[in-house]
Structure 1
Amino acid sequence: MTVAPYSRNAKTFFAQYQSLSFEQVHSDWLSQFDQKAGLALDVGAGSGRDAGALAARGWDVVAVEPAARLRELGQGATRSQSIHWVDDQLPDLSKIRKLSYRFDLILVSAVWMHIPPSDRERAFRILTELLAPGGMLVITLRHGPGDGERVFYDVSREELESFAKRRALIPLPLPVGRKKDELQRDEVSWETLAFRLADDGTGALPTVRHIIVNDNKSSTYKLGLLRTLVRIADGAPGLALKRTDDWVDIPLGAVGLFWIMLYHPLVLRHQLRQAPGSRGYSFATADFFKLQSFTPLDFRVGMSLSADVAPVVLRAIKAACRNILDNPANYTTWPGSNRTVFEGGSARMTIKKAPVRLDKATLSRFGTFRVPSFLWDAFSRYACWIEPAIVSEWIELMGSWDLRYSMDEYHRGLQWVEGRRDTSAVRQMINQQLETGRVECVWTAKNLKATRFDVDHCFPWSRWNNNDLWNLMPSTHTANASKSEKLPGDLLLKEAHPRVVNWWEQAIVGSSREEQFFSEAEASLPLLGQERTLEGVFEGMLQQRLRLKTNLQLAEWLGV
């Protein structure tokens, strides 16, 4: 796509775009515009005019603009609105796809003529995969010659209609024919097409249901693998190593680690059968049983392990990885086929008696596991529905093998062990800082030395179980009680930015907790570029806030 001219002449283009109103440019499709606000993607957002108009109507907007100088001007003009700006572009939209959002509206205005014809079908497919069920895709087509500096390709209504038919999109009734250019250029005209996605359209949920309910199972291993992947996609999306059109690559060690965290209480604490009969489990080696005195909280992502404990945990992960590749990954197949759904390969690694941190780099040493992209997105978006279905089937399987236990015992065994609200470490950090200085409530800026304080889960614990250091904030008791289980509003979180970063600088940077802080953030936040900076972590928080609001439909808190 042509990008350089838009940066080089940013001020000229900014003024040109701002000279027209959203209603002038988009009158053709506004009659189809849903009055109910949702999540919108503005591709090629330019000056931010359209993104700003959508935000003013109550929409949360992700604005994509690859031209750096134009993006800076757009950000400046929309700074007070709920708009997230991202440096990305068609046909890939690689950064946007990493976030696993589904958009209720995607606007591609004055962009399509920049995309080479050979890239268009793929670009259209990617756009449709980003649509939420019932979502609308609007594309405006520019007809007319180039200007000598920017590259324009011929575009046609027929091309887009053929793409839409292949992707099962429903065309919306809009005025047919070309519209005069609002900037009064006689040689330029415009055409608008809009489409709606009737349903999910990816086939992900039927595939997941097949694995949960219909696929043959001689143990709980297939359910264990599925729940492991759902947990990673939902709670640790930052662990993804690479994404293509077809696959998401994640560290094999992360799959092994989450597997152990699932089976640790089932086998070691509750002694619940995970297969019929009395045979053992191929992953439960001597090292797994040495973890009897630990809890899964002791070896979660981001934790540092001592030289004595590290080899035991790493060998247990290695055995779990081998079992996963040999068994559930090998026997989980597409409906009506012997073709495996997942792929993976182990890597040679040496385990030494030395301290280690269970971060992304360490977990990558075990090898790579591959998940189909559309399934990864479903795991991320629909985790709150998929996981209970897995647990229900898991309980039914265990009950068919052993009738001695109650339903309560099965539920306790399958409870995710990180499901324990814990703010003690951060409370201690706040008390230490108050001994020598001032600590501010991130929401009200009040000094906590003079008032009762709480440790607030920025993203509510009851809806997204996360005790990471970046998610725990110093707060007055009043603010925490007012916020309760709500999600902080976008503008409120942005307003708190300097106090949040100041807290991290004050209590974490330069301390023994710094490496843990960044390792946890790297795993659980969709950090663009994987920046290990405080600003990178905060940007990841903004993206995660929007992801939680969209996926879980959480109520927002606008302050005390």
Structure 2
Amino acid sequence: MKSTRFYDQHADALTLQYNSLETDAVHRQWLSRHLPARPGIACDIGAGSGRDASWLAEKGWDVIAVEPSDAMRALASNTSHPAVTWLNDALPDLHKLRALGHRFDLVLVSAVWMHLPASVRERAFRMLSEMLTPGGILVISLRHGVDAEENKRRGFHQVSGDELEELARCRAVAITDRFEEPDPVRSHVTWETYVFTLPDDGTGALPLLRHIVVNDDKASSYKLGLLRVLTRIAEGAPGAVLRRTSDYVDIPLGLVGLYWIKQYRPLLLVHKIPQHPSTSKGYGFARQDFHQLANISSYDLRIGASFDGEMGAVVTGAIRDACANITAMPVRYITYPGTNRPVFESERKSVRKSRHSLIVTKHYLQGFGTFRIPAQLWQTLGQYACWLEPAILREWSGLTSGWSIAEHQSVPMDVFNWEEGSRDTRIPAGRYGELNEAGVRVPCVWSAQNIKVVQIDHCFPWARWLNNDLWNLLPASATVNASKGDKLPSAVALSDAKNRIQSWWRRAYVESSYGERFFLELSASLPNLVEGERDLEAIYDAMLLQRTRLKADQQLVEWSGP
């Protein structure tokens, strides 16, 4: 938007042209779907004739209209609504607008984006997103149409919806809507409009997390690494909570350390991707024990895993070093904006290695200490995990390019894959066969009918929640399993199957050599269970709670039963 010559020379004609169209006709689709019912503070960037700014002001909005063309601004300011304030400024930097320190409930960028060359669009989008209030709306329209002479005369550049979507993902801004419509005057022009929202959960936790992910200074990947670990725990291991109050949630520090080494093992030992700018500097947690983890799978770093004495000592040492590094670095430096007050707290305990065999339990992980998370933040980490983790990983992927490490200028996203193992149903399939051979009838848990061709169903679908825990693996007929697919069983379907599910748990797992593993796994992945819970009724109730959470957080399609 540096060149305004065309608009200064044709201000009168352009003002007549723009004002010949009504705002509620031009912007009908996004206005009808997304304009907040309660007026707030809006910013119209590239406001032109002031048509849209005045329309918003008439609806009760306070509007700052940004227009770099002196002639356009002079004409518009004489006729615009009193609630419209005019400002001479331009994208991508918006120096004067940013100096005001305002945050806006609505930012409109209509018929402007094509003025920006591709080289400045990332900066422009960053400036726009930083001006939104939590829950604020950003509307950007893209002009598509080939007219080389007009494009040259007016300084238009080619624009792309895909590019805009990627900019939004990199800034952790939600893509709320998108639609296309023809230009009402020019047949060769079409418009593509995007509506973005700065996510807000109503508690302030989501804006805080977004600030840490997107805006916070990062001398290493540790801040992002800790947030990803906590997001994974909040979503996948709600049963790991040791204590919960209205203000905070305590989880085992050792669990944070376990997930930490699970996360960094492939990055450092397999892909060898630097995690801070200095390629000669080591990592506080990556000592001798961590490097010996190259001999095991990342999948084995989980609650319920067992190790012989030698490898158990290695795992303990690696977790211990990770906990020390987490406490000294990201816990210390992740602070509330504008303060030195840490967001998280941790209390580390001394842990000695043992040469005895090791089973990773919640009690074992608690021995490393306690990690404290603000209660609202914990809730948000779990509820918005499917949005937060991709935002964290996109920011993380871009760190190495910012550090100018030549051989790691572009980090593919697949190096961050969280190893949950493959979709593994071998244990329940084996137990089904053993029970059948012993003459024990095992019906389809969903239909109660005899099974002709057995398939092991992930009760809560693997495609939506990567959980191979034994409690989540149930016998079903092939026909019923195909009907259920990747849907979430409804509360009614679970209620109908309750007795058969509990009977399967008891016969297949509790009364077998897999009993200890069954209880260890569910103690982490199911919520609200007391330490050492063995009552199948309580476990079923916890399963219902997790079902409700998955439905709410991921908006999964429900399956009502056969």
TM-score norm. by structure 2 comes to 0.62
Q: How far, CA to CA, are the matches of 1:330 and 1:502 in structure 2?
A: 48
Q: Which residue of 1 aligns with 2:347?
A: 345
The DSSP-based 3-state class of the residue aligned with 1:433 is helix
Q: CA deviation at 1:428?
A: 2.1
Specify whether residues 556 and 406 from structure 1 end up closer, same or farther in structure 2 by C-alpha distance, changes over 3 A only.
Answer: farther
Q: Is the 8 A contact 2:428 2:508 kept in 1?
A: no
Q: Which residue of 2 aligns with 1:169?
A: none
Matching residue's letter, 1:208: L
1:417-436 correspondence to structure 2 within 5 Å: 417-418=419-420, 420-436=422-438
The DSSP-based 3-state class of the residue aligned with 1:456 is strand
After superposition, give the CA deviation of every residue in 1:423-474 in whole Å (9 maximum; x if it has no partner). Answer: 22222222222222222211112233xx111111100111111110100111
Q: CA deviation at 1:307?
A: 1.9
The DSSP-based 3-state class of the residue aligned with 1:217 is coil
Q: Is the 8 A contact 2:234 2:378 kept in 1?
A: yes
Q: How far, CA to CA, are the matches of 1:403 and 1:206 in structure 2?
A: 33
Q: How far, CA to CA, are the matches of 1:384 and 1:359 in structure 2?
A: 26
Q: Say if 2:534 is the partner of 1:546.
A: no
Q: CA deviation at 1:483?
A: 0.5
Q: Is the 8 A contact 1:525 1:544 kept in 2?
A: yes
Q: How far, CA to CA, are the matches of 2:508 and 2:473 in structure 1?
A: 12
1:272-311 correspondence to structure 2 within 5 Å: 272-278=273-279, 279-311=281-313
Q: Say if 2:228 is the partner of 1:212.
A: no
1:117-516 correspondence to structure 2 within 5 Å: 200-278=201-279, 279-401=281-403, 402-404=405-407, 410-418=412-420, 420-437=422-439, 438-448=441-451, 451-516=452-517
Q: Which residue of 2 aligns with 1:126?
A: none
Q: Is the 8 A contact 2:529 2:539 kept in 1?
A: no
Q: Is the 8 A contact 2:220 2:276 kept in 1?
A: yes
Q: CA deviation at 1:297?
A: 1.2
Q: CA deviation at 1:490?
A: 0.2
Specify whether residues 216 and 405 from structure 1 end up closer, same or farther in structure 2 by C-alpha distance, changes over 3 A only.
Answer: closer
Gaps of 5+ in 2: 1-134, 136-198
After superposition, give the CA deviation of every residue in 1:248-269 in whole Å (9 maximum; x if it has no partner). Answer: 1110000000111111111111
After superposition, give the CA deviation of every residue in 1:143-200 in whole Å (9 maximum; x if it has no partner). Answer: xxxxxxxxxxxxxxxxxxxxxxxxxxxxxxxxxxxxxxxxxxxxxxxxxxxxxxx963
The DSSP-based 3-state class of the residue aligned with 1:264 is helix
Specify whether residues 329 and 373 from structure 1 end up closer, same or farther in structure 2 by C-alpha distance, changes over 3 A only.
Answer: same
Q: Is the 8 A contact 2:238 2:524 kept in 1?
A: yes
Q: Which residue of 1 aligns with 2:120?
A: none
Q: CA deviation at 1:403?
A: 4.4
Specify whether residues 209 and 199 from structure 1 end up closer, same or farther in structure 2 by C-alpha distance, changes over 3 A only.
Answer: closer
Specify whether residues 427 and 403 from structure 1 end up closer, same or farther in structure 2 by C-alpha distance, changes over 3 A only.
Answer: farther
After superposition, give the CA deviation of every residue in 1:17-41 in whole Å (9 maximum; x if it has no partner). Answer: xxxxxxxxxxxxxxxxxxxxxxxxx
Q: CA deviation at 1:420?
A: 2.9
Between 1 and 2, higher relative CO (CA 8 Å, sep ≥ 6) is seen in 1
Q: Is the 8 A contact 2:349 2:368 kept in 1?
A: yes
Specify whether residues 308 and 510 from structure 1 end up closer, same or farther in structure 2 by C-alpha distance, changes over 3 A only.
Answer: farther
Specify whether residues 205 and 509 from structure 1 end up closer, same or farther in structure 2 by C-alpha distance, changes over 3 A only.
Answer: same
Q: Is the 8 A contact 2:299 2:421 kept in 1?
A: no
Q: CA deviation at 1:406?
A: 8.0
The DSSP-based 3-state class of the residue aligned with 2:274 is coil
Q: How far, CA to CA, are the matches of 1:537 and 1:398 in structure 2?
A: 44
Q: How far, CA to CA, are the matches of 2:397 and 2:425 in structure 1?
A: 31
Matching residue's letter, 2:216: D
Q: CA deviation at 1:516?
A: 1.0
Specify whether residues 272 and 474 from structure 1 end up closer, same or farther in structure 2 by C-alpha distance, changes over 3 A only.
Answer: same
Q: CA deviation at 1:303?
A: 1.5
Q: How far, CA to CA, are the matches of 1:290 and 1:432 in structure 2?
A: 38
Q: How far, CA to CA, are the matches of 2:474 and 2:206 in structure 1?
A: 36
Aligned counterpart in structure 2 of residue 535 of structure 1, from 525, 534, 537: 537
Q: Is the 8 A contact 1:527 1:537 kept in 2?
A: no
Superposition CA RMSD, Å = 1.7
The DSSP-based 3-state class of the residue aligned with 1:417 is coil
The DSSP-based 3-state class of the residue aligned with 1:344 is strand
Q: Is the 8 A contact 1:527 1:539 kept in 2?
A: no
Specify whether residues 426 and 398 from structure 1 end up closer, same or farther in structure 2 by C-alpha distance, changes over 3 A only.
Answer: farther
Q: How far, CA to CA, are the matches of 1:505 and 1:333 in structure 2?
A: 47
Matching residue's letter, 2:360: L
Q: Which residue of 2 aligns with 1:9?
A: none
Specify whether residues 421 and 399 from structure 1 end up closer, same or farther in structure 2 by C-alpha distance, changes over 3 A only.
Answer: farther
Matching residue's letter, 1:257: L
Number of aligned residue pairs: give it: 361
After superposition, give the CA deviation of every residue in 1:189-216 in whole Å (9 maximum; x if it has no partner). Answer: xxxxxxxxx9632111110011101111
Q: Which residue of 2 aligns with 1:60?
A: none
Q: % of aligned pairs identical?
A: 49
After superposition, give the CA deviation of every residue in 1:494-524 in whole Å (9 maximum; x if it has no partner). Answer: 1111111111111111322111111110101
Q: How far, CA to CA, are the matches of 1:252 and 1:377 in structure 2?
A: 18
Q: How far, CA to CA, are the matches of 2:263 and 2:409 in structure 1?
A: 19
Q: CA deviation at 1:534?
A: 1.7
Q: Which residue of 1 aligns with 2:102?
A: none
Q: Is the 8 A contact 2:312 2:356 kept in 1?
A: yes
Q: How far, CA to CA, are the matches of 1:429 and 1:512 in structure 2?
A: 11
Q: CA deviation at 1:419?
A: 5.7
Q: How far, CA to CA, are the matches of 2:542 and 2:262 in structure 1?
A: 25
Q: How far, CA to CA, are the matches of 1:355 and 1:527 in structure 2?
A: 29
Q: Is the 8 A contact 1:253 1:317 kept in 2?
A: yes
Matching residue's letter, 2:247: D
TM-score norm. by structure 1 comes to 0.62
